[in-house]
Structure 1
């Protein structure tokens, strides 16, 4: 049965959608889907919802949750922080995991948060969808968006150093229609996939989007995947499709939704 409801979170209510079943598949773990944030969330919700439908229609309990300050959950993005999102994920696992191991599916920056959560929770299966490799990369992307918008608006004199100085002084920065707080900016660079071990995970999937069928994984992706081969059973694939989280218009990516849900349902 499909549901949409709010749960109490550490910093306010968290909006959750998904499927729950009166008689779930025996021994099946709940699947928790962790999205990206800001405009990437808006551009990717339909793809993540397709994954939720595919998993839920096969008798698995599955939930897609908006973290604090994103989507329909309580709070403004300017109030969000990495540490706060960690606490949100802990709460979501507590509510839907019910003390059992869980499976995680996560896109972009959500994938970084999901991998980070492995140290705090028993995770059997972890599917990372075109992950952001580290928080510094995410921060740089957001600041570059501000600089590009500034040039268009005639603020060309602004520099990356200026923006970093504003954040260091405790000031927020408007970027892409969202206010990035100094707290968030300070916490982002500490998150790195390269620092995370996945020995506690039984199965790992890494799916990234490529422009052509003969494209290998990106070099940074291959290094990370190689480093985890000794930790768990690893599947790594490049799938041909549009990078839907950054297109101007909403773009489908059926191949990712189908492959991610198929992999998650294999065990």
Structure 2
């Protein structure tokens, strides 16, 4: 029987508390060191709420496979302190660094006596927060391997911001007021005013930081699992994903890039599951020296 998930609040001093859920690695016999640690870097706004079931299922599966997992709600999200409208991109980067340091303080050498890897698990725009996690891991433990597990990652914050603004445009279309909606929102942000989108107050500091964010290949990362979803059985990687995989490979990382069949659960009307995505993730997390470089692959049924 696997150990139970443990929710707790991570203190940030004057910045309040962050709700976390810790999933300890399950081993037989008990007490064996974890094979690695995994930190969830959550998606943006309502996508996080739509993804909670999938991330919880995946965290438990990772823990059952011998990995220690930490998920957290960022400032202004979920049950953490603050309001979404008060958050900045820098605040969220600080949250990621705090979580990385919490995991680093708990880590123990693996069965071979070597440092176990830290997997930064980025979902959608969460991948853009990976740079902060890489920096924190490098500062705390320079010799520790850092890997990335990326689910349908967004490589530029500008794209995420555009997609988020389209939610407002879609709502305005229904009311017949869509003309110039995006520019009006940008003008409002430029005046230092927050914008209301799909029930979320988007502050200028968060919009500016998000738009400038990029997932940047770095030699500090040794393995990248880039996993996308499609409802088609024979889907191929998007051109953007293929280019990103090549860029990470050029930095010396072993890259496993694949397409799994499943729904876009972060944007679905109902709560959806994508079990093949979890299966592909487990295969990537378990890989050791045989972590192959794959430019495109369809995950079989």
Normalised-by-shorter TM-score class: over 0.9
Q: Does 1:5 align with 2:25?
A: no
Q: Which runs of 5+ in 1 are unaligned?
A: none
Question: How do residues 89-104 of structure 1 correspond to structure 2 at under 5 angstroms?
Answer: 89-98=96-105, 102-104=118-120
Deviation at 1:245, TM superposition (A): 0.6
Match 1:159 to one of 181, 188, 193? 181
Q: Structure 1 69/17 Cα, relative in aligned 2: closer, same or farther at 3 Å? A: same
Contact 1:25 1:59 (8 Å CA) reproduced: no
More RCO (CA 8 Å, sep 6+): 1
Match 2:218 to one of 198, 204, 212? 198
Contact 2:122 2:149 (8 Å CA) reproduced: yes
Compare 112-121 and 224-233 and name the one that shifted more: 112-121
| TM-score in terms of structure 1 length | 0.92
Contact 1:24 1:61 (8 Å CA) reproduced: no
Match 1:245 to one of 258, 266, 284? 266
Contact 2:228 2:260 (8 Å CA) reproduced: yes
Q: Which residue of 2 aligns with 1:266?
A: 287
Q: Which runs of 5+ in 2 are unaligned?
A: 108-116, 139-144, 289-301
Distance 1:200 1:156 in 2: 44
Q: Which residue of 2 aligns with 1:15?
A: 19
CA RMSD of aligned residues (A): 1.9
Distance 1:250 1:37 in 2: 16
Match 1:215 to one of 212, 219, 235? 235
| TM-score in terms of structure 2 length | 0.82
Q: Deviations over 1:216-251 (max 9, x none)?
A: 111111111111113211100011111111111111
Contact 1:125 1:264 (8 Å CA) reproduced: no
Contact 1:24 1:60 (8 Å CA) reproduced: no
Contact 1:14 1:66 (8 Å CA) reproduced: yes
Q: Which residue of 2 aligns with 1:185?
A: 207
Secondary structure of residue in 2 paired with 1:70: coil
